Structure 1
Amino acid sequence: MARPRKDVKFQHRGSNGKARRPSMSMSEISENASEPGSPTRNGALSKSEPATQDPPPQSEYEKKKQNFITRTIWTFVMIGGFFWALFAGHIYIIIVVTAVQIISFKEVIAISNVPSRARSLRFTKSLNWYFLGTTMYFLYGESVIYYFKHILLVDRILLPLATHHRFISFMLYIIGFVFFVSSLQKGHYKFQFNQFAWTHMALFLIVGQAHFVINNIFEGFIWFFLPVSLVITNDIFAYLCGITFGRTPLIKISPKKTWEGFLGAWFFTTLWGIGLTHIMSQYKYFICPVNDLGANIWTGLQCNPNPVFIPKTYTVPFIPQGLPIPATFTFMPVQLHVLVLASFASLIAPFGGFFASGLKRTFKIKDFGDSIPGHGGMTDRMDCQFIMGTIAFFYYSSFIAVHKTSVGSVLEAAITGLTPEEQVEVFKILGKHLVNQELIPSKVLEYVNAQFKR
C-alpha cells in the first residue's frame, strides 16, 4: 500500500461538516505584528510604531473666533472692492452687479442640480446656463439700446442688432425651448418640468431684478448706492436694536427677528438716508445720468440736475403767529422721496430675506453656498438687495424721473419710422433751421443740397 505524500495536506472538518479555518503560523503572526498599527493577540500596538492620535476637536469658542476673523476680513475686502468700483466708474459697478447675479444664479440652481446628476440628465445644467445667457443678452441689450440709442442707431453694424434685438432674443429663447422639449426622457418628465420651472423662477427673481439695478446705475449713481446702503443700514440696526431691547418675535420663519429691531431699524435707516442724500447730492458724479461710460470720480459728469436736487422753500400752513415754530422750511425735494425709500428698505425689503429663509428651510440648508468665506453664499447677502433695487427703479421712474425728448428718441423715431426720402427731407429742414440760428454756415447747407441733387 502506497504511503501518502508528505506535502499533501487535508482539511479537517468539525462536527458540523464545515472546513475549519486554518491557523496562522508564527511567522505570519510576527509579520502582521510588525506592520504599523497592527494589533497583536493581546490587543497591544507594536512598540516599534507609535500610535497616531487624531488632533483634538476644535472647541466651540475657537470655531466662533475663527469664523469671526474670516468674516471680518472678507467684510473689509468687499467694502474696499465696492468703493473702488464705485469711484472707478459705472462700467466697473456694472461688472460687479453682473458677477453678483451670475454667482447668485449658480447658487440657486445648484440646489436642484444634484438630483439631475443622480438621474443622469446631462443636458439640464447646460440648459440652465443657456437660458441665463439668453436672458442676460435680452435684458442688457434693452438697457444699452435705451440709454445709448444715439450711438447704436447710427452705426452700420450695430443698427440691425438694435432694431431687431427683441426678435433675436426671442429666437434664442425658442432654440433653448426646443432643445428642452427634445431632451425630455421617459420616466423623468415631472422632474424635468420642475427643473424648467425652477430655472425660470431663478431667472425672474435674480436676473430680472438685477436688470433694474443696472438701470438704476444708468440713471445716476445715487439711485444705485442709496438703496444698497439703506438695506445694509437697516440690516445692521435691526440686529443692534434686536439684541439691545428686542423682545417680541416678528415672524415665525425667521425667529431671531423682533418687532423692536424692525421698528428701530426703520428709524435709523431714515436718518441715514437723509444724511447720505444730502452729501451725495452735492456731487454731479453721483446725481447725473450716465452719458460717458469712461467717467470716474476724478473726471466727473456734467448735466442739468434733476429738479429734486434743487432746494425749494415750503410753507407750513395753519401755524398760529407768535409761536416759536418756523413757518417755512427749505430743503431738497429728494429728501421727501428718501423717506419713502427708507420705508421700503425697512418694511418691504426684509421680506426678500424672509423669502430666502423659507427657501433654505424648504431644502434644509443653512446657506446657499460658500462663495464668500465667513458669510455663506452670495445669495445670502443679496436676498434683500434685489427686491430693493427693483422697488427703487419703479419708484424713480414713476415719481422722480423727468421724461423729455432725447436725441436718442428722436433718432429712433426718424430711423425706424420714416422712409429714406422722408429722412432726407428732415435733414434739409433741420439744416435750414441751423443756418437761420447761425449755428452752421449757409455754404455747408448749399453743399449738402448739391450733393443730394446728384
Structure 2
Amino acid sequence: MTKPKKDVKFNHRERRMSNKSSMSDINYDSPTDERSPTRSNGAKSPTRNGTLHKERSIKEEENERPSFERTDTTASGWATENEDEKPQVKEPSEFEKKKQTFITRAIWTFVMIGIFFGSMFAGHIYIIIIVTAVQIISFKEVIAISNVPSRARSLRFTKTLNWYFLGSTMYFLYGESVIYYFKHIVLIDRVLLPFATHHRFISFMLYVIGFVFFVGSLQKGHYKFQFTQFAWTHMALYLIVVQAHFIMNNIFEGMIWFFLPVSLVIINDIFAYVCGITFGRTQLIKISPKKTVEGFVGAWICTIIIGFFFTNLLMRSRYFICPVNDLGANIFTGLECDVNPVFIAQTFHIPFIPHTWTFLPTHITVAPMQFHILAMATFASLIAPFGGFFASGLKRTFNIKDFGDSIPGHGGMTDRMDCQFIMGFFAFMYYQSFIAVHKASVGGVIETAITGLSPEEQMAVVKGLAQHLYNQGAVSSKVVEFLGENLQSALKKR
C-alpha cells in the first residue's frame, strides 16, 4: 500500500489566501457577509488558473507595501509612473528669470562698450570692420523675417539671391568710397586702375546678372511670393546697407563725424528713459506705448546740453577731427592735418542784447562747431527716434518681439541700430552741405589728369610740375633734366 503524499502546494495557497482577501472574495449576493460561503472553507475556485493566481500574488504584494512609500501622488491620490521614476524639477521664479536676464544684459553691455572703444582707439580700419559686421548682421536679421515662408515653399535660390544682391551692393558702395578717398593710391596702381575707371559699369553688370537670375528662377504658382521677396530684399538694402555706407564715409572724413552722432543717439535714448520714468505722463505715439511726450522733450534738452560740452572735449584731439590720411594711425600716434575752420574758435557778436545792458556780454568766443551740434542734437532727439518707431511697427507687423538674438540679453543687432542708421545718414549730408571744405586734392588732380588728358598732355604736366618745384627750391636741377630727357625719349618712341 502506497503512502499518500502531502499536498504542500494546497497548504501554501491556503495560508496565503488567509492573510489577505481580494476583490473576488467578496460575496456580492450577501453584502452583510464578509466572505462568500464557497470561499470560507478554502475550496479551490473552479475559475482559477495560473495567470489569475500570478496577478493576485502581485496585487497582494502591492497591498502589503508600507503606506509611507506613496509620497508623490496626483490629484486622485495615486502616484503616476513618471512621478515614481523622475523627481519634479522646480522651475525658476519670475524674479530669478528677470535677475538672470539683467545680469546677461549688463555683461553684454560692457562687452559691446569695450569692443567699440577698443576698435575706435585702435584705428579707423578696425571701426570700419565693426560697421561692416553690423550692417551684414542687420541685413541677415531683416531678411530672416521673410525667409521662413521660402523654406516652407522649398523655393531654390531665394536665399542665395539675397546674399548676391548684398555682395554686389557692397561692392558698388565700398568701391565708391575707396576710389573717392584713396584715388591717389588706386589710380596709380596698374592692376587696380581698370577696376577704378570702370567701377560703376562693373557694378551695374553685377546687378544685371542677379536680376536676370531672379527672373529665370520664377516658378509658376509662387510669382507673388517671389516678387515680394525681391522687393523686401531691396528695401533692406536701402534702409541698412546704403545708410551704413554713409556712416563709413563719416569715418573717412574724421572720427568725430562717426563717434559724435552715435553718442548723441545713445545719450538721447538714456535720458528719454530717465525723463520718461521720472515725470512722463502723456503717451507720445501709439506704436510705442512706453514713449511719453515729457520724456521726448526732456531728452531733447539734455542731449543738447551734454552734446555741447562733449563736442568741446572731442575737438581737442586731432585724432578725431582730422580726415583719414593714414589707415595705420591710432589714438596714440594721432593724425596731422590742416584743421577745419569749424573747429577753430571765433568771436561772434550777440545782436539782440542792448548796449545799455552792461551786465551781459555782447560778444562770445566759441567754435562754429558748437552751433552745428545744436542742429545735430536736435535731429538725434526729434527725428532719429522715428527710426526706432519704424522698427517697432515692422516688428508688430510680423508679430515678433525682436529682430533676432545676435546679442544675448539685447535681442538682435537691428534692435540696437534702428536709430543709428538714419542718424549716420543725416550726419554725412549735414557735413557735406554746411561743414566740409571743398578744395583740390592730390587724388582729384591725378583723377582729372588720368581721365581727361592724353599721355602727351600728362607728360607735359609732369614736366611743368618739376619745373615749378625747381623754381621753388624743392628739387634740384638734375631732377628736371632727368625727367626732361626720359619724357622726351618716351614721346619719340610713341
Same fold (TM over 0.5): yes
Q: Secondary structure at the match of 2:84?
A: coil
Which amino acid in structure 1 is aligned with residue 479 of structure 2? V
The aligned counterpart of 1:350 is: 385
Identify if the C-alpha distance between structure 1 residues 46 and 450 changes in structure 2 by more than 3 Å, giving closer, same or farther. closer
Identify if the C-alpha distance between structure 1 residues 241 and 442 changes in structure 2 by more than 3 Å, giving closer, same or farther. same
The answer to whether residue 209 in structure 2 is matched with residue 162 in structure 1 is: no
The answer to whether residue 216 in structure 2 is matched with residue 194 in structure 1 is: no
Identify if the C-alpha distance between structure 1 residues 329 and 182 changes in structure 2 by more than 3 Å, giving closer, same or farther. same
Superimposed CA distance per residue, residues 4-61 of structure 1 (whole angstroms, 9 cap, x where no aligned partner): xxxxxxxxxxxxxxxxxxxxx6789999xx9xx9x9xx965569x9331342232221
Name which of 361, 365, 374 aligns with 1:330: 365
The answer to whether residue 256 in structure 2 is matched with residue 222 in structure 1 is: yes
Name which of 84, 102, 115 aligns with 1:81: 115
Once residues 45 and 82 of structure 1 are traced to their aligned partners in structure 2, the CA distance between those partners, rounded to angstroms, is 55
Once residues 29 and 226 of structure 1 are traced to their aligned partners in structure 2, the CA distance between those partners, rounded to angstroms, is 85
Which amino acid in structure 2 is aligned with residue 405 of structure 1? A
Identify if the C-alpha distance between structure 1 residues 356 and 28 changes in structure 2 by more than 3 Å, giving closer, same or farther. farther
The aligned counterpart of 1:205 is: 239
Name which of 262, 266, 277 aligns with 1:243: 277
Q: Secondary structure at the match of 2:334?
A: coil
Which amino acid in structure 2 is aligned with residue 288 of structure 1? C
Identity level (%): 71
Once residues 138 and 247 of structure 2 are traced to their aligned partners in structure 1, the CA distance between those partners, rounded to angstroms, is 15
The aligned counterpart of 2:401 is: 366
Shift of 1:437: 1.2
The answer to whether residue 316 in structure 2 is matched with residue 282 in structure 1 is: yes
Shift of 1:115: 0.1
Which amino acid in structure 1 is aligned with residue 412 of structure 2? G
Once residues 45 and 241 of structure 1 are traced to their aligned partners in structure 2, the CA distance between those partners, rounded to angstroms, is 55
Identify if the C-alpha distance between structure 1 residues 206 and 125 changes in structure 2 by more than 3 Å, giving closer, same or farther. same
Taking only aligned residues, the RMSD between alpha carbons, in angstroms, comes to 2.2
Larger radius of gyration: 2
Deviates more, 1:54-63 or 1:304-313: 54-63
- Unaligned 5+ residue runs, structure 1? 1-24
Name which of 463, 473, 479 aligns with 1:438: 473
Name which of 297, 303, 313 aligns with 1:269: 303
Q: Secondary structure at the match of 2:236?
A: helix
Superimposed CA distance per residue, residues 231-286 of structure 1 (whole angstroms, 9 cap, x where no aligned partner): 00000000000000000000010010000000000011111211111011001000
Q: Secondary structure at the match of 1:255?
A: strand
The aligned counterpart of 2:137 is: 103
Superimposed CA distance per residue, residues 197-241 of structure 1 (whole angstroms, 9 cap, x where no aligned partner): 000000000000000000000000000000000000000000000
The answer to whether residue 451 in structure 2 is matched with residue 406 in structure 1 is: no
Identify if the C-alpha distance between structure 1 residues 174 and 73 changes in structure 2 by more than 3 Å, giving closer, same or farther. same
Once residues 53 and 198 of structure 1 are traced to their aligned partners in structure 2, the CA distance between those partners, rounded to angstroms, is 50
Name which of 417, 438, 460 aligns with 1:382: 417
Identify if the C-alpha distance between structure 1 residues 208 and 54 changes in structure 2 by more than 3 Å, giving closer, same or farther. farther
The answer to whether residue 319 in structure 2 is matched with residue 298 in structure 1 is: no
Once residues 440 and 150 of structure 2 are traced to their aligned partners in structure 1, the CA distance between those partners, rounded to angstroms, is 51
Misfit runs of 4+, over 3 Å: 25-31, 42-47
How many residue pairs are counted as aligned between the two chains? 424
Identify if the C-alpha distance between structure 1 residues 150 and 320 changes in structure 2 by more than 3 Å, giving closer, same or farther. same
Once residues 421 and 436 of structure 2 are traced to their aligned partners in structure 1, the CA distance between those partners, rounded to angstroms, is 21
- Unaligned 5+ residue runs, structure 2? 1-50, 63-71, 490-494
Once residues 194 and 127 of structure 1 are traced to their aligned partners in structure 2, the CA distance between those partners, rounded to angstroms, is 13
Which amino acid in structure 1 is aligned with residue 263 of structure 2? S
TM-score (norm 1): 0.90
